[in-house]
A and B are shown apart, each in its own frame.
Chain A
Amino acid sequence: MSEARAVLVLALFAGGLAAGVFVQRVTDTGGRENPYPSLDRIEEPSQTAAVATALVSNDAKGLARMLDNQTLSELKDALTAPSGAPISDIRGIKFVGATSKAGRTLAGYIVTGKDMQGTDAIVGFVLNLENGQIVGVN
């Protein structure tokens, strides 16, 4: 009888534990809701994809051909790790999403690599397109 009682107590405790985890997962909204509407996402623009390819393949000549001096300077600033050191060794670049409104397109990328001090780094930047031309980097 005492064994059956112990099993029952343990089973009830385990059931309660599972119910608690379930309730927490269901009621956890994952932070604040976005009260604003979202713009539609679009496919990766070919112009920005070409820049990403040039970056990951270390193609300085290609970048110089595709981007003007001002945009290249902005890209250099964008590829600076939070520590303040520029990312010198790009290991990977990932397109995360793009959106467009009234002729202006924003395409977001995440770069991983090592900064000048040899530390692992991750930074994000956004290429701005207007009428098919890359006009800026954030």
Chain B
Amino acid sequence: MGKVFGWLPGIVRLAIGMVVVGAMIGYVLSAVVSTVINDQGWFATSGESPQARSYMVALLQREADTLTALRPQQDVVSQALARQAAQQSRQQAKPLSLTYLGGASQGRVSVQIYAVEVRANDGSQQLFSLALTLVGGQVVLTR
């Protein structure tokens, strides 16, 4: 590195180095703080949780791996059952809309409610709701 930037005056190298190091630390610090605040439920808000939205999109697109990653660690049989359920629902309905109704948090627990509209194989459209309960950013209950 010293050879690459060796042609620059020392003060300029120092200035660039300070800005780059500061920016990297600021970026990482901001990401860590926002993740911790979100997971721990500090400054609880009623806004949509990014994890809940990711879970809902993965659910509608039948992405078993993403769903597994957003749930607490499960045993292998439960994971296999979830994969089977995702494969079966693939042929059953086509998602038409996904609407976030709202949510609230209490400590690390957050409840997020969605409305889902699907078209079934017989052509009928159905509107139903899903309430997700998240603890520390992981979906522990779907109702």
Residues in chain A within 8 A of chain B (CB atoms): 5, 8-9, 12-25, 28, 30-32, 34-39, 41, 78, 82, 94, 96-99, 101-102, 104, 106, 108, 110, 112, 120-126, 128, 138
Nearest 4 A/B pairs, CB to CB = A16-B22, A20-B26, A31-B50, A96-B102
Number of A-B contacts (CB under 8 A): 178
Pick from B22, B102, B125: contact of A20, CB under 8 Å: B22
Instruction: Please give the distance in Å from A129's CB to the nearest CB on chain B.
Output: 11
Enumerate chain B residues within 8 angstroms of A122, measured Cβ to Cβ.
104-106, 109-111, 133
Question: In the complex, A16 Cα to B110 Cα: how many Å?
Answer: 35
Known: A32-B50, A32-B57. 19 other contacts (CB 8 A): A12-B22, A16-B19, A16-B24, A16-B26, A17-B22, A17-B26, A18-B26, A35-B57, A37-B97, A41-B99, A82-B140, A96-B104, A99-B127, A102-B127, A104-B127, A122-B110, A124-B112, A124-B131, A124-B133
Instruction: Check B103 for interface membership: any CB of A closer than 8 A.
Output: yes
Question: In the complex, A20 Cα to B19 Cα: how many Å?
Answer: 9
Instruction: Please give the distance in Å from B67's CB to the nearest CB on chain A.
Output: 13
Contact status A123-B111, CB under 8 Å: yes
Contact status B125-A21, CB under 8 Å: no
Enumerate chain B residues within 8 angstroms of A9, measured Cβ to Cβ.
14-15, 18
Enumerate chain A residues within 8 angstroms of B125, measured Cβ to Cβ.
101-102
> How many B residues touch A, CB cutoff 8 Å?
59
Enumerate chain B residues within 8 angstroms of A101, measured Cβ to Cβ.
117, 125, 127
Instruction: Please give the distance in Å from A11's CB to the nearest CB on chain B.
Output: 9
Pick from B18, B58, B128, B140: contact of A13, CB under 8 Å: B18
